[in-house]
Structures are given as C-alpha cells and as structure tokens.
Amino acid sequence: MNKVIKPGAFSAEQARSAGKPSRAEAEAAVRTLIRWAGDDPEREGLVGTPDRVVRSYEEFFAGYEGDPREMLARTFEETDGYDEMVILRDIRLESYCEHHMVPIIGKAHVGYLPRNRVVGISKLARVVEAYAKRLQIQEKMTAQIANCIQEVLDPRGVGVVIEAAHQCMTTRGVHKPGVTMLTSRMLGTFRENEATRKEFLAMIGKTTGGYG
C-alpha cells in the first residue's frame, strides 16, 4: 500500500528543519520582543542583545540536535557479572518550560538494572541533557529519558526521578519560590518489584511517600 503523505503531515523533525528561520529573522524577532517589553532595541545597551539571545538559544535548545538513542549505542559487556543497580544521581538539569519558555532548573536521578550490558555513565547524563535542552514539560521529559534507556539498553528495569523548580511558577503567575515538582518514571523491575524500587529511592535519598 502506498503511503499517502498529506500536506502538513511532516514529522516534528522535518517541520523543524524545513521551517527553520534564518538567524537574521530570529534576531528580528528578539528586537520585536524588546519593543513589546517597552524598550528601544537600538539603544547602546541593547544593540547587541538580539545576537546574544540567539546564541543563547543555540545552547538552551541544543537538545534538538542529535539523537539521544545514539548516545547509548556504545555499551560494555565486560562487567565481570555485575548485576546490581547502576545509579547516577544529582544530575544538574536545565530545561525550558514549553508553555512560558522560562527555565526549569533541578536535578535528575537515573538508575537501571543491567541485563548484561552497561553504558558509560557520562552517557546517562548526556541523555538527560539531550531531552532537557528542548521546550519541555517535566512529565514528558521524565518519561522520554526512561523510555530511551529502556528501549536502547534493554536493562531489567529503569527508574528516573526529576525534581525541579519552574520559573514560570516562581517569577510569574502564582509566585511560589521554593516549590519543586517531583516526577518519576519506573519501568521493568523498578515498576514491578517493590524492593527494587525502594532500593533505588533509598539510594537517591527519596525514601518517603508517593512512590507506593
């Protein structure tokens, strides 16, 4: 059967590359926002700002480049039978709320129970970063990180816990500084086996409440 491709039925990736504005257009958009805020983009202190903002965006949203799955492709099988949990905790997380485009800052904790392959630990941090440096909601990001590790490494189980403060809550709207949001995604043995889940939560220092 032929695949019928409807106009507009692009993948998110195609849409992004096909519709990507030029740097000049992006800088013009920043000048518009400066005027919208009530200032003059031509005054001395602001004249270089659109360029700096666009450069910052390249860093903030670097996660759209590259495939997080490829970061986990290289694994090690010489583990001398290591079959206990591997945990990377307190991974600094910098993301951006897709509703307000302001920072989500926090920590991610990632654990997995290897089947027979392990991955370099920096790779787990890179997967977190690849999903964080996009426009996100915390719930989706948590699930994406866990799903990616589960699908590519095929471990016995995966646990991901993210705790983060959302600047859209602290600097605007309800103005509630100090509030952090906690999300978790448990797969495989982390979901099915209470002892495994408890061990993970204890090792990342989250022993109380909310995880069953």
> Which CB atom, from 128 or from 164, has the smaller least distance to Zn ion?
164
**Which listed residue (13, 98, 192, 194) is catalytic?**
98
Q: Rounded to a whole number, what is the distance in angstroms from the first to the last CA of the chain?
A: 47
Element housing 112 (H / E)? strand 103-113
Q: Does residue 13 carry a catalytic annotation?
A: no
Q: Which residue number has the CB closest to Zn ion?
A: 168
168 touches Zn ion by CB under 5 A: yes
> Which CB atom, from 125 or from 181, has the smaller least distance to Zn ion?
181
Contact 67, 141 (CB under 8 A): no
Q: What's the alpha-carbon Rg for the chain, to the nearest Å?
A: 21
Element housing 5 (H / E)? none
> Which CB atom, from 33 or from 101, has the smaller least distance to Zn ion?
101
Nearest approach, Cβ of residue 93 and Zn ion (Å): 15
Contact 138, 164 (CB under 8 A): yes
Site map 92..111 versus Zn ion, x via CB under 5 A: -----x-xx-----------
Q: Does residue 166 carry a catalytic annotation?
A: yes
Q: Please give the residues from 116 up to 155 whose contact with Zn ion meets the rule CB under 5 A.
A: none
10 Å CB burial of residue 127 (0-12, 13-18, 19+) is buried
**Which listed residue (25, 58, 70, 99) is catalytic?**
99
Q: Does residue 138 carry a catalytic annotation?
A: yes
Minimal CA–CA distance to 183: which of 143, 127, 125?
143
CA distance 98 to 102: 8
Among the listed ranges 61-69, 141-149, 162-170, 188-196, the one in contact with Zn ion (CB under 5 A) is 162-170
Q: How many CA atoms lie within 13 A of 200 on its CB side?
A: 30
Name the pairing type of β-strands 118-119 and 181-188.
unpaired
DSSP label at residue 106: E
> Which CB atom, from 87 or from 165, has the smaller least distance to Zn ion?
165
Q: Does residue 148 carry a catalytic annotation?
A: no
Nearest approach, Cβ of residue 95 and Zn ion (Å): 11
> Which CB atom, from 95 or from 144, has the smaller least distance to Zn ion?
95
Residues with a known catalytic role: 97-100, 138, 166, 168
Q: Which residues bind Zn ion (CB under 5 A)?
A: 97, 99-100, 168
